[in-house]
């Protein structure tokens, strides 16, 4: 028979035991990147939907700039399921800005402000693993890039690799979440990351197919970057496959070829099936070529398709949770998606191109 003391002790422990049991059940039911099924999978064993040139918008905030690659801002992209955000970093009068090709053409503001937007979203979504890919257009140092992370307060989320070469297995999403290191950062390219070890040189860990495509028949799964690898050798080196899947349309200005995001083909380019160059078929072909699904898929106008449907199929996700639905229309929303950007009208765009032409002529 239990003593009165033991009975009282047992009764006292009941709430704590119940809380532990509830926490265990809750943890098992927690969704990682919008699905409970992804929590136990390693970072390199799922497909992350990527937004090509995420901060560069084609909406009212930029005068519907022809240089914009997305209709919705970074916050909306993340809420809708995008988990890889790419953007170009330029030195604009001594400050690091997110600019499309040139800060005269389309300036999306300070790198630190963009990172702050990402941090705000991550603060409110604690079970999501996010990847940032910075195109280091003006060869900024790790110290300068790291300063932007510190200013944004997001460096504390950053994952630091345990190896200077690509591992065969990365941590699971749940491990990254539990460790508080759920922001993975790649830079193309970075020779020395001593000042900020969490900034990983992209091509030490990743290989890409060709990104400069102007025809739906151009898409290929073959490794294009880094130039030192073939598809086979890249996979042998454990580099993660990165599938670029977007098109450029070309025009000529004073004999100079100008490339801009191809909106005319986007409903096919981002489609799950049907038509030359559709995303679903290309993803299936690359999965066969690599012997695994691409770790990353990068698209323009992510909402069209929607591209996330192809990624869900690759991840065997049938019932995503916690994801915001956005219009799949191949056009900007009626109202601004909330970002503040330097406006670039069609006139300004042409003027900037003319100035650039005069300077290089």
Q: Residue 281 in 3-state DSSP?
A: helix
Is 52 an annotated catalytic residue?
Answer: yes
Q: Report the C-alpha dihedral over residues 328, 41, 317, 25, rounded to 10 degrees.
A: -110
Catalytic residue from among 48, 90, 97, 100: 100
Residue ranges in 194-241 assigned as alpha helix (H): 202-205, 231-236
Q: How far apart, in whole angstroms, are the C-alpha atoms of residue 105 and residue 25?
A: 51
Q: How far apart, in whole angstroms, are the C-alpha atoms of residue 158 and residue 120?
A: 14
Catalytic residue from among 48, 52, 90, 97: 52
Q: How far apart, in whole angstroms, are the C-alpha atoms of residue 92 and residue 95?
A: 5
The token pair at 352 is 């900037």
Beta bridge partners of 86: 133
Residue 319, C-beta contacts closer than 8 angstroms, at least 6 positions apart: 35
Q: Which long-range contacts (CB under 8 A, 24 or more apart) does 10-18 make?
A: none
DSSP state of 231: H
Is 48 an annotated catalytic residue?
Answer: no
CA nearest to 344, candidates 69, 88, 62: 62
Q: Taking a C-beta distance cutoff of 8 angstroms, is the pair 314, 83 a contact?
A: no
What are the strands, taking DSSP E only, across 16-129?
A: 48-51, 84-92, 95-99, 107-110
By annotation, the residues acting in catalysis are 52, 100
């Amino acid at each position: 028979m239990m003593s009165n003391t033991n009975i009282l002790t047992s009764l006292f422990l009941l709430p704590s035991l119940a809380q532990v049991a509830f926490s265990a059940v809750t943890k098992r039911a927690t969704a990682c990147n919008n699905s409970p099924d992804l929590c136990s999978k390693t970072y390199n064993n799922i497909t992350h939907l990527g937004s090509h040139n995420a901060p560069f918008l084609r909406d009212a905030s930029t005068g519907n700039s022809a240089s914009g690659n997305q209709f919705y801002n970074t916050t909306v992209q993340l809420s809708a399921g995008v988990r890889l955000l790419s953007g170009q970093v330029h030195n604009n009068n001594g400050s690091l800005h997110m600019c499309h090709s040139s800060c005269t053409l389309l300036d999306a503001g300070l790198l630190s402000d963009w990172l702050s937007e990402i941090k705000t979203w991550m603060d409110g979504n604690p079970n999501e693993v996010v990847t940032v890919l910075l195109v280091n257009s003006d060869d900024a140092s790790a110290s300068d890039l790291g300063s932007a992370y510190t200013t944004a307060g997001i460096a504390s989320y950053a994952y630091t690799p345990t190896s200077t070469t690509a591992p065969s297995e990365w941590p699971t999403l749940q491990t990254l979440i539990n460790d508080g290191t759920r922001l993975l950062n790649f830079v193309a390219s970075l020779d020395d990351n001593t000042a900020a070890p969490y900034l990983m040189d992209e091509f030490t860990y990743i290989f890409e197919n060709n990104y400069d495509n102007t025809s739906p028949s151009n898409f290929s799964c073959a490794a294009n970057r880094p130039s030192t690898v073939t598809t086979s050798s890249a996979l042998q080196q454990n580099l993660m496959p990165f599938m670029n899947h977007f098109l450029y349309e070309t025009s000529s200005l004073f004999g100079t070829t100008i490339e801009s995001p191809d909106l005319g083909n986007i409903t096919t380019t981002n489609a799950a099936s049907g038509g030359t160059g559709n995303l679903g078929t290309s993803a299936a072909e690359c999965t066969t070529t690599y012997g695994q699904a691409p770790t990353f898929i990068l698209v323009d106008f992510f909402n069209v398709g929607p591209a996330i449907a192809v990624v869900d199929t690759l991840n065997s996700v049938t019932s995503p949770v916690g994801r915001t639905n956005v219009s799949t229309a191949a056009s900007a929303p009626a109202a601004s998606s909330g970002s503040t950007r330097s406006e670039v009208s069609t006139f300004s765009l042409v003027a900037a191109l003319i100035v650039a032409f005069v300077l290089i002529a």
